[in-house]
Amino acid sequence: MTTFYTKPAFVVKNLFGVSGITLHKIILEARKSNNLRPGNIQRDNIGNRWVVAFHIDLQTRLRLDRSLANKQCAKQETEKGSETNRDRIPKIHRSLPPKDLSLGNSLSHFVVDIRERLTYSKHMNVLSLEEKLVVLSAMIEGNSIRSTERMTGVHRDTIMRLVTRTGEECARFLDTAVRGIRAQRVQADEIWTYVFKKQARILGSEALEVGDQYVFVGIDADTKLVISYLVGKRDARSTYYFMRDLRARVVTRIQLTTDGFKPYINAVEDNFGADVDFAQLVKVYGQPPQGMSGRGRYATGTFVTAIPTPRTGRPRASAISTSYVERQNLTMRMQMRRFTRLTNAFSKKLENLKAATALHFAHYNFVRIHQTLRITPAMAAGLTPQVWTLKDLLEAI
């Protein structure tokens, strides 16, 4: 299987043997002639042990003396007709002599033509399906990236790229698969997290992609299916788009219950109109308890009462509840490490948070068997006739 290796850098390859001694000599002489800092040269193991490469950043031209350059050309010319060599060694071009003659240096430039993809078909570091399943299972069960790296031996950068790519595919899959939901009772709430740093440390000129972020969640109280979710700021704009997405996925008249967040009132009115039974459960909290040996700052306020407040239609008083969606919030904090409080496992980029959230909800809806339902929420909602495995989910996306 051919894998593309497309790092935008100049590459010098070992064309003179398997020992690597000559390659080391090339690099040393190039550093002496061009005053390259050691930080500009990085070793990259492409796969096959004797095929090694050194990457020089794009601002630096690697110069070789004429004797080594002639050896490279001769070696490439002798192996020109080899199909294996064409797959293994990138095409090298001799450029024009240096135009700046004031330096007194007549060395030729030898660089890789980065306009063509560098392809290697042997021993590439590509995760197998079994390795992907192990990594994704560890991340879904609430492990951090570095702990997953220690357990599986897969580099943390590879893990992050895998989670991001899989999460983006899961988001597209959920957008098309979770449609036409025939729900009766829907509960909505939002859960807090943050990206890069907390809101108190953000300057006014910084972008909206950092600081406090909220995940809006709408769940079917009967099938426990997460119908809709949205990652964004806790404001009227995010609330409106969350309700618009929820409205597009249900095909029946629902009884909707949210918390006391005021933007829900206008958002529900703009998207549902009168075709909804809408109520808010306004909870009242008191002051945090005192005398907890310094833990008062992390303690929640004392719960006082919950006031059911009908807003639109005729919601049944017995169904005005947010218990299921709040239990889903606990599931999110337990199953996604980046939602754990008082740790350094928070998201560093908003796109990573969105990808991890999409992966969690795809697994929750289609793979994870609910304890009370004995089936997955997708089966309870009629979206699929059987329980999926994580492998089935990867194949579906």
Alpha helix locations (H) across the chain?
Answer: 21-34, 66-78, 83-88, 129-140, 145-152, 156-177, 236-249, 263-272, 323-335, 350-366, 377-380, 390-396
Distances (CA, A) of 204 to 53, 114, 254, 348, 362: 44, 41, 40, 19, 35
Structure tokens at 265: 């009132």
What does the alpha-carbon distance between residue 257 and residue 12 come to, in Å, rounded to a whole number?
63
Cβ–Cβ contacts within 10 Å for residue 386, how many?
A: 10
Per domain, the residue ranges of the chain are 3-120, 129-396
Q: Is residue 33 classed as helix, strand or coil in its secondary structure?
A: helix
pLDDT at residue 327 in the model: 93
pLDDT at residue 109 in the model: 37
CA 284 to chain centre: 36
What does the alpha-carbon distance between residue 210 and residue 288 come to, in Å, rounded to a whole number?
28
pLDDT at residue 44 in the model: 41
**CB under 8 A, 24+ apart: contacts of 57-60:** 57/9, 58/8, 58/9, 58/10, 60/10, 60/34, 60/36
Closest CA to 218 of 208, 226, 206: 226
Query: Cβ neighbours of residue 191 under 8 Å, at least 6 residues apart?
Result: 214, 215, 217, 329, 332, 333, 339
**Is the distance from CB of 114 to CB of 9 less than 8 angstroms?**
yes
Per-residue confidence in pLDDT tens, the chain, 397 aa: 443 333 333 344 433 333 444 555 555 665 566 555 544 444 444 433 333 344 444 334 344 444 555 565 666 666 555 544 444 444 444 444 444 444 444 333 333 333 333 344 444 468 889 999 999 999 999 999 999 999 999 999 999 999 999 999 999 999 999 999 999 999 999 999 999 988 888 876 667 888 899 999 999 999 999 999 999 999 999 999 999 999 999 999 999 999 999 999 999 999 999 999 999 999 888 776 665 555 556 667 778 888 899 999 999 999 999 999 999 999 999 999 999 888 888 999 999 999 999 999 999 999 999 989 999 999 999 999 999 999 999 999 8
Residue type, 7: K
Cβ–Cβ contacts within 10 Å for residue 248, how many?
A: 11
What does the alpha-carbon distance between residue 382 and residue 73 come to, in Å, rounded to a whole number?
65
DSSP 150: H
pLDDT at residue 209 in the model: 85
CA 241 to chain centre: 22
Handedness of CA 232, 235, 237, 239 (dihedral sign): positive
pLDDT at residue 52 in the model: 35
pLDDT at residue 206 in the model: 66
User: What is the CATH code of the structural domain delimited by 129-396?
Assistant: 3.30.420
pLDDT at residue 48 in the model: 36
Residue with tokens 């440390």: 201
pLDDT at residue 198 in the model: 87
pLDDT at residue 111 in the model: 38
Query: Cβ neighbours of residue 177 under 8 Å, at least 6 residues apart?
Result: 366, 378, 383, 396
What does the alpha-carbon distance between residue 253 and residue 147 come to, in Å, rounded to a whole number?
45
Query: Cβ neighbours of residue 293 under 8 Å, at least 6 residues apart?
Result: none
